Structure 1
């Protein structure tokens, strides 16, 4: 029986994978990963549409909800978790739902991905609403848990995004915005933790990073909302302030201390010669965008308008 999903089909170029010598085996597996990046590049227009649709909702106070099973679910957990230390995104606004619950992060929970109702229940339990953005991932594009989640999310008025590695699949049809990551057959037949998973990781990196840029979490290409929770990040925060302002480390350190460790606030303080309270006020007036707070030009689309349900 032939499975129409490309990710499930044996790759004709790797029929002798198990008898390759070590250098050729490693090279074959590594080189095949390049196709993951190419798939994401092809999907760039769809990813841009996701950012455009998600931005006003998040600017209005909405959340990112990640939904997946197995590898896809774990990649969602990873992306959600990294937003807080990297961009100071509130952890309660990055919710990861995985088939089988938290136990499935570390071990396989057999059959969980086949439960359509569980996906719907998990989304309802998370309180999905009109301001929320649901990123639903399934390499196959047919995972029942994920499809159930999308159905419930759409019923709640959330903006749903389907990311799948097979064209013409139910997930891409069900979601408000479809992102096809067409990576084709895997070198190890059906092992979507390989380039299908890599493509999902790159796509999530791209999506969440683009959103954070547009939400003012980045000044130039500096991650000025980094949360300095350890010595490495404290040193990084100091370097960021020095780079953005041209000040020496002593001045940057004093500003950071007065700003409570906020890189963005320290930059505005030093660039404008104001105190922490004034810098915070300027940032609040600029919706958190350092460039606007500094009086520099800012694309209108970067700040955006908060989403209103009346505009749907």
Structure 2
């Protein structure tokens, strides 16, 4: 007979132990945070902030693998390929964010940044239960977007085991696309299923299993790094200036004006005139002012240099 107040041992102790000891580090219990709910506000905030440093360290450790992904993806994008993102939950939303921000930041055509998220657009704001558990949905989404040999699919899954992402990767490879995988657990199926595996080993979370914390931060840094490095190599910056920014509001118009003045040394009047003549294309305005060309002439020179401002200016 079980004594009062004594914990009951499950009949199937092996199954109980397996449930307690998930091999994925992102699902582990961090003993150093066992008293999290007793911390004073300042200590609580510092705990969360300090734990984020692990995310930076994880991406630093993955730098060589990210570099391989950049090098493999670049020629496909130069041929006109697309960046396709596949994820579920937080990972999927981070993919949507990265894809969305490429257009205003680098004038990357929106049709060439395709975010796929388990459960569709509704899952951006609302959890769509069960969608991530179906590999066939990932396969269907990749078929629907017609991924091909010039495309790059980036599969993102903290666990490294998400069926939706694995299905998307499998289908993308079958259709000839390059596949990149970001996962926060070593030895997981996603990392073995892709052409370019990137391990972001962030370990256990402060709040057990909540991969929206440092695992998500590491994914965000890695995605920022991967896509931004590709944009730089594709000529979307001049020096470190955002010369392909889309000036779609007053803030961005002011930024465009500052960029042109900084790059050329022109006064505000000349910079604004060049931007107006180039329909607020910063890159064209810079080439106009530095070489004394008209807007059409500057645009042709950039086209001949495949959009690289430094090459168009003869400063390779």
Shared fold by TM > 0.5?
yes
Gaps of 5+ in 1: 298-312
Per the alignment, residue 305 of structure 1 pairs with: none
- Taking the TM superposition and a 5 Å limit, the aligned residue runs for 1:1-312 are 1=18, 2-297=21-316
Q: How many angstroms apart in 1 are the aligned matches of 2:87 and 2:102? A: 18
Q: How many angstroms apart in 2 are the aligned matches of 1:51 and 1:223? A: 19
Per the alignment, residue 8 of structure 2 pairs with: none
Q: How many angstroms apart in 1 are the aligned matches of 2:297 and 2:68? A: 36
Q: How many angstroms apart in 2 are the aligned matches of 1:29 and 1:269? A: 49
Q: How many angstroms apart in 2 are the aligned matches of 1:277 and 1:111? A: 53
Q: How many angstroms apart in 1 are the aligned matches of 2:39 and 2:293? A: 65
Q: Offset of 1:277 from its aligned partner?
A: 1.0
Q: Which structure is larger by alpha-carbon Rg, 1 or 2?
A: 2
Please give the TM-score of this superposition, normalised by the length of structure 1. Answer: 0.95
Aligned residues: 297
Q: Which of the pair has the greater relative contact order for Cα pairs under 8 Å at 6+ separation?
A: 1
Q: How many angstroms apart in 1 are the aligned matches of 2:91 and 2:315? A: 40
Please give the TM-score of this superposition, normalised by the length of structure 2. Answer: 0.94
CA RMSD in angstroms, aligned pairs only: 0.5
Q: Offset of 1:13 from its aligned partner?
A: 1.2
User: Over residues 230-252 of structure 1, what are the superposed CA-to-partner deviations in whole Å (9 max), with x where a residue is unaligned?
Assistant: 00000000000000000000000
Counterpart secondary structure, 1:96? strand
Q: How many angstroms apart in 2 are the aligned matches of 1:266 and 1:16? A: 58
User: Over residues 95-138 of structure 1, what are the superposed CA-to-partner deviations in whole Å (9 max), with x where a residue is unaligned?
Assistant: 00000000000000000000010000100101000000000000
Gaps of 5+ in 2: 1-17
